[in-house]
Amino acid sequence: MDTATTGDLDIPANIAATLVDPVAYADDRIHDSYRWLRANNPLGIARPDKFDPFWVVTKHAHIQAISRQNDLFHNADRPTTLTNQALEERVRRITGGPNLVRSLVQMDAPDHPKYRALTQGWFMPANLGKFEGRIREIARATVQRMLDRGGACDFVEDVALGYPLHVIMEILGVPEADEPRMLKLTQELFGPQDPDTARVRDALSAEQVSVMLQAIIADFSAYFRGITEERRRNPRDDLATVIANAKIGGDYMPEHDQTSYYMIVATAGHDTTSSSTAGAIWALARDPAEFAKVKANPELIPGLVDESIRWMTPVKHFMRSATADTELGGRRIAKGDWLMLCYASGNRDEEVFEDPDRFRSDRKPNRHVAFGYGAHLCLGQYLAKLEMRILFEELLPHLKSLSLDGEVKMTQAYFVSGPKKLPIRFEVN
Ligand code: HEM
């Protein structure tokens, strides 16, 4: 990045350090940094130790502007999530490219629209309607298990973690017995810095991380190879059958692309949805007035869903890289520059959201960017919202009161994060 060697574009080292510190995402420090950046340097350059410099995009309008110009800002050319220099170098040695997998997220046109079209229809409301009855059954069983806890539970452990996982596994067509394996692989993949989920717990060298990630991918690959063979022999009415039999230009997808496809569908939807589901209950449990408002007005449930997705913003960032010199917000961005889209900052942008730190189920409009924007806009957004709405429709009528029952703990991760412990007390009607 030769654009800005002068100091005025650079963001202060202490702020840059929080962006690459997983622990800062487990408390409010990351929001303090975002707030400072939006006010003082909304499009600045971070130069943290051990990372290539990157632009830090904290304003809602800039996140949208970059996300909608997919020819100018690519996904595939650099790592799509924050990656240190040593790890990027190691991944390049292994794969010849910056990323270990090649899912929709790591593709650009012309491949991206072709691959996305294979399953887009599956994730549209018209098709998802077919699953609503089954999702409601899963929600009811989940709620019943929580009520059976007798007035107190860890909402993450007992409800939020298992429910979206169960839904996506059903839609995908993975047997229930294999769900714990999928959950573990996802947590290892998405939250590798969190000491509670990491396969290797201490500070890791790039070599160790790449070995760990390759092992996770190999596990996924071995698992889904079996599913592909089975679905080609015996097609069913599930998403795995679509992926297993999909053809690009007349041929089955290359195996690496196929594993990546299964992986993104199997992993993208549950830690994210569980974080925002837990976010909603956290917000209601600490604010009796908000709880009473939603209880009295169930038509606010879709608003509760959207607000918790905004407020929690489980996907904290994705990266893009510039394919040509360009200008944005008065800054000159050079070809090859790497940019961090800070969705969680865009979603607290004072210019777009009134009183942005406040949780309001009746916030309208609520044009958050928690699902991203543009051609890569989350494929699973309707599924996530459907699952959450159904769960709250099933849960809230049973609850007379809701409160926190201990310390809320957050995952330490700069990619996907949210509550990992949410002790609550509740009274049943
Ligand atoms: C992409 C967030 C649930 C599947 C994304 C992106 C974000 C995101 C930020 C990147 C968008 C961009 O680059 O513009 C979330 C959140 C969720 C959620 C916050 C829950 C609250 C789901 C679910 C699925 C899913 C349930 C279902 C499998 C995907 C896929 C992509 C994606 C396949 C890649 C799309 C592409 O690159 O074309 N999601 N997601 N997500 N999400 Fe989600």
Please give the distance, rounded to the nearest whole angstrom, from the Cα atom of residue 273 to the centre of ligand 1.
10
Cβ of 305 less than 6 Å from ligand 1:
no
The answer to whether position 286 is within a domain reads yes
**Displacement of CA 393 from its chain's centroid (Å):** 23
pTM: 0.95
Cβ of 113 less than 6 Å from ligand 1:
no
Closest among 220, 350, 211, 358 to 289, alpha carbons compared? 358
> In total, how many domains does the chain have?
1
Closest atom, ligand 1, to C-alpha of 309? 21
Please give the distance, rounded to the nearest whole angstrom, from the Cα atom of residue 260 to the centre of ligand 1.
14
Residue nearest to atom 25 of ligand 1 (CA): 380
The answer to whether position 338 is within a domain reads yes
Q: Which residues contact 281 (CB under 8 A, 6 or more apart)?
A: 155, 159, 160, 402, 422, 424
Report which secondary-structure segment, H or E, holds 308: helix 301-312
Give residue 426's pLDDT.
Answer: 98
Residue nearest to atom 15 of ligand 1 (CA): 371
Cβ of 182 less than 6 Å from ligand 1:
no
ipTM for the assembly? 0.99
Strands (E), 47-135: 54-57, 73-74
Tokens, residue 245: 């039999």
The answer to whether position 395 is within a domain reads yes
Q: Which residues contact 28 (CB under 8 A, 6 or more apart)?
A: none
Kindly report the CATH number assigned to the domain that includes residue 149: 1.10.630.10
DSSP state letter for 315: B
Give residue 201's pLDDT.
Answer: 37
Residue nearest to atom 38 of ligand 1 (CA): 376
Q: Which residues contact 389 (CB under 8 A, 6 or more apart)?
A: 301, 302, 305
Give residue 194's pLDDT.
Answer: 61
Question: Rounded CA gap, 81 and 94, in Å?
Answer: 17
The answer to whether position 368 is within a domain reads yes
Hey, which of 190, 239, 371, 417 would you mutate to test ligand 1's pocket, going by the most ligand atoms within 8 Å of its Cβ? 371
Please give the distance, rounded to the nearest whole angstrom, from the Cα atom of residue 9 to the centre of ligand 1.
31
Cβ of 318 less than 6 Å from ligand 1:
yes
Residue nearest to atom 30 of ligand 1 (CA): 379
The answer to whether position 7 is within a domain reads no
Give residue 118's pLDDT.
Answer: 96
Cβ of 265 less than 6 Å from ligand 1:
yes
The answer to whether position 2 is within a domain reads no
For tokens 């957004």, the residue is 381
The answer to whether position 1 is within a domain reads no
Hey, which of 62, 378, 417 would you mutate to test ligand 1's pocket, going by the most ligand atoms within 8 Å of its Cβ? 378
The answer to whether position 4 is within a domain reads no
- Give me the tens of pLDDT residue by residue for the chain, a chain 429 residues long: 444 434 489 999 999 999 999 999 998 899 999 999 999 999 999 999 999 999 999 999 999 999 999 999 999 999 999 999 988 998 898 888 998 889 999 999 999 999 999 999 999 999 999 999 999 999 999 999 999 999 999 999 999 999 999 999 999 998 889 888 888 887 777 655 565 654 443 457 778 878 888 888 888 899 899 999 999 999 998 999 999 999 999 999 999 999 999 989 988 888 899 999 999 999 999 999 999 999 999 999 999 999 999 999 999 999 999 999 999 999 999 999 999 999 999 999 999 999 999 999 999 999 999 999 999 999 999 999 999 999 999 999 999 999 999 999 999 999 999 999 999 999 998
Please give the distance, rounded to the nearest whole angstrom, from the Cα atom of residue 130 to the centre of ligand 1.
21
Tell me which residue range forms the domain holding 376.
Answer: 13-428
Q: Which residues contact 379 (CB under 8 A, 6 or more apart)?
A: 104, 116, 119, 120, 123, 268
Please give the distance, rounded to the nearest whole angstrom, from the Cα atom of residue 105 to the centre of ligand 1.
9
